[in-house]
Amino acid sequence: MLYRLANDYKATGVFTPKKYFSVDRVFRNESMDNTHLCEFHQVEGLVADRNLSLKHLIGMIKTFFEAIGITQLRFKPAFNPYTEPSMEVFGFHPDLGKWTEIGNSGMFRPEMLAPMGLPPDVRVIAWGLSLERPTMIKYRIRNIRDLFGHKVDLNMMKESPLARFP
Amino acid sequence: PPPLAETPRRAPAARPFTMPTVGVGRDELFARLGQTSYTPEDLVEEGKAQHEFDELCFEFGIELDDVTSDRMMAANEIKNADAEAQAKLDELDDTVIYKIDIPANRYDLLCIEGIARSLRIFKGLESAPTYQIIEPAQRQIMRVKPSVKDVPRPFVVCAVLRGMNFEENNYKSFIDLQDKLHQNICRMRKLVAIGTHDLDVVEGPFQYDAQPRDEVSFVPLTEEDKEWTGKALLDHYNTDPGCKHLKPYTKLIYDCPNYPVISDAKGRVMSMPPIINGAHSRIQKGKTTNVFIECTATDLTKAHIVLDTMVTMFSEYCSEKFSVEPVDVIYETADGGVESTETTPRLSSRMAEAQLTDICSVIGVELDAPTVCELCTKMQLGPASYDEATGTISVTVPPTRSDILHAVDIIEDVAIAYGFNKLIPGEVPPTQTVGGPLPLNHFSDQLRDEVARAGFTEVLTHGLCMTRENFDNLRRVNDGSAVQLSNPANEEYEVVRTTLLPGLLKTLKHNKSMPVKDGIKFYEISDVVLQDTNADVGARNERHLAATYAGLTDGFEVIHGLVDRYGSDKSKLLSSFTML
């Protein structure tokens, strides 16, 4: 969708800032265990605007995680091939009572944006997390198959309370 | 809240690629970091020493993943150790090993020498070394014959390290670094393969060519008494269980009529890249002092990075610290003339730039030039200078930092040295936008509400399933419409579903204990994937709705009712109804 955004800019000469999100299925071809399947879900957010900074990315992430009850955050330098700087997001989890890694984030590298034709001062900040992991932490679910897939107990679906934060 | 360092050792949250892990001796690491004041109490597991190291790693961007020892690692392999196995275990080293995860683009952190030096520079305990090329009276020469282009393995880069002293620890580190490089940047030796040799037992000028595989003959490092010819040796490595660690590499050259060979002026085989070195020129602890390194490659850029990494990491042990001796590599033409030459290693320090305003703008903090220059020094990018006329910060990029590709790499390093966490609480971007879901997702959510209102429970099943679950078990012919996984890690996941039915039926199988009086009713609204030659990726997603009724009666009227209520094209929906 960044490509389409760039094409709109090329066609009209006007760049419109955008915020995108996605909650969708991802796949990986690795061995499975109690907490890992070949497919799971990721939540991603992205802001494309002029002169965005790491400070903005941190502000965005803080607001996002406050909505699911995590208010204390720390950021760690990381490496992603497509973002620079990159930060791993750690939060103090209120249910676990300890710090844990809760997501990944970064600013897209210019090499990714320039070929699409976006203006050079447009910066794209993005963050993401997996859906299953924080859910399993919050609801004390030990096996991912209890949460997603054909082995989920239909009774659990019927009897679970509404998801509310805090 | 408790300090960050209490994060338990755990699997990372879905990393998209593997981070290399380096095992380093804890005590040696702390000694290198100048940390000598820890008491035995501080050094216990999860004690003060570990917490402080965790914090340092967190700030710098690496991670202490595991605390173990040779003994513990071996013990983990054995389930129940009987007395005899336990005695063997007790003989193993129990020196504490820290396993550290490092970023995939940092080849200078793949050994204890590199990690310790980078952390010392980060802490301001020392400045980044200046690596020197020291000219010998006569440079070593490596002649490359055109036959290597046919393998193909056309490139080689070389260097000499003088006055080294190999003892237990640094010898192991030297071997381990080569392994790590082979596994990472070298792509399992395919792109680059490293060979290291005792310079004093061989004689230049050296030669790199491709020799007929049944003629090249030498004693390899794995067999100290027997000579082998090329193909016979590879056959041996393919079959002998004692050499199974070499089996993955044999296919890189097996089918070639001529195998790559590095040899000396006397025709002695030093190595047969990328498989194995010769026993004659092997590095020996306590004996070898002058080292000849050759990296043969299919990718010249990577070869230079690999060679630069080897020499920058280990030149600290040379008699002239941080110095390297160059080698002339001469690429010959078919008639023995010179096609091109290159003097290696490159070991070049280059300059890179970033605008001061960009640095401040990307990070989101106002920093003056002297501060930025100082921060650069902490990240091995010093000396750094500022040109007020152009507003440019210039940094010195050492040969250890091949990951610096663009101004943003400099900016990230400045941000790390400044401290990401100093930016907390951050600032929400002032970007004004109007948001909303995609129309398809909005519609799906509305439909989910409606179907649930009809008394059906929603489920979410896997997109991947077995081929027979998608076709045979549904009594459908496999028409090739399903996208197949070419290398499934798991037999349960062979194809991407073209129908939601397999998931629903498997859900029923696992929920047979549900009360049947009013029927077991559930549904799913989710994507299926179909092959499609019109799509740019060869497949398209379709959003499907499927509902299931199972009970004491067939419940046809229940499904019919659902279809009546929400199906606009009854014939289409009815055609996919299956009575079970």
Tens of pLDDT, residue by residue over B454-483, are 999 999 999 999 999 999 999 999 999 999
Side chain identity, residue A132? E
Contact B143, B207 (CB under 8 A): yes
Is A77–B363 a contact, with Cβ atoms under 8 angstroms apart? no
Q: Comparing C-alpha atoms, which of B182, B193, B181 is closest to residue B155?
A: B193
Tell whether A159 lies on the interface with B, counting CB pairs under 8 A: no
In B460-576, alpha helices (H): 467-470, 501-509, 556-566, 570-575
Tell whether B358 lies on the interface with A, counting CB pairs under 8 A: no
* Confidence at residue B14, expressed as pLDDT on a 0 to 100 scale: 39
Q: How many CB pairs under 8 A join A and B?
A: 202
Q: Which residues contact B547 (CB under 8 A, 6 or more apart)?
A: B451, B456, B521, B522, B523, B559, B562
User: Which token pair is B322?
Assistant: 């941080």
CA dist., res. B136 & res. B318, Å (int): 14
Is B426–A59 a contact, with Cβ atoms under 8 angstroms apart? yes
Q: Comparing C-alpha atoms, which of B313, B386, B451 is closest to residue B24?
A: B313
* Confidence at residue B579, expressed as pLDDT on a 0 to 100 scale: 42
Which ranges of chain B have pLDDT less than 70?
1-18, 79-81, 567-580
Please name every residue paired with B198 in a beta bridge, in sequence order, or none if there are none.
B291
B261: distance to nearest CA of chain A, Å? 35
Total-model pTM: 0.85
A79: distance to nearest CA of chain B, Å? 6
* Confidence at residue B18, expressed as pLDDT on a 0 to 100 scale: 66
Which ranges of chain A have pLDDT less than 70?
1, 166
* Confidence at residue B11, expressed as pLDDT on a 0 to 100 scale: 35
CA B250 from centroid of its chain's CA atoms: 22
Q: Enter the DSSP assignment of B455.
A: T
CA dist., res. B151 & res. B210, Å (int): 7
Q: What angle do CA A91, A95, A96 make, to 5 degrees?
A: 70
Is B420–A32 a contact, with Cβ atoms under 8 angstroms apart? no
CA dist., res. B398 & res. B404, Å (int): 10
Is A84–B425 a contact, with Cβ atoms under 8 angstroms apart? no
DSSP string, A60-87: HHHHHHHTTT---EEEEE--BTTEEEEE
- Identify the sign of the CA torsion B325, B330, B336, B337: negative
Is the peptide bond prior to B345 cis by the omega test (within 30 degrees of 0)? yes
In A13-160, alpha helices (H): 54-66, 110-113, 132-138, 154-159
Is B507–A152 a contact, with Cβ atoms under 8 angstroms apart? yes
Tell whether A107 lies on the interface with B, counting CB pairs under 8 A: yes
CA B579 from centroid of its chain's CA atoms: 50
Q: Comparing C-alpha atoms, which of B512, B446, B526 is closest to residue A155?
A: B512
* Confidence at residue B369, expressed as pLDDT on a 0 to 100 scale: 94
From edge to edge, which strands make up the β-sheet containing B539-550?
B457-458, B520-531, B539-550
* Confidence at residue B13, expressed as pLDDT on a 0 to 100 scale: 38
Residue B221's Cβ-count burial label (10 Å; 0-12, 13-18, 19+) is: middle
CA dist., res. B215 & res. A34, Å (int): 53
Q: Which residues contact B291 (CB under 8 A, 6 or more apart)?
A: B160, B161, B162, B164, B196, B197, B198, B199, B283, B314
- B491 vs A contacts (CB less than 8 Å): none
Tell whether A123 lies on the interface with B, counting CB pairs under 8 A: yes
User: Which token pair is B36?
Assistant: 């000598």
Side chain identity, residue B392? T
Contact A127, A64 (CB under 8 A): yes
| Helix (H), strand (E) counts: chain A | 5, 6
Query: Measuring CA to CA, how many Å separate B361 from each of A104, B270, B426, B515?
Result: 21, 54, 13, 62
* Confidence at residue B12, expressed as pLDDT on a 0 to 100 scale: 36
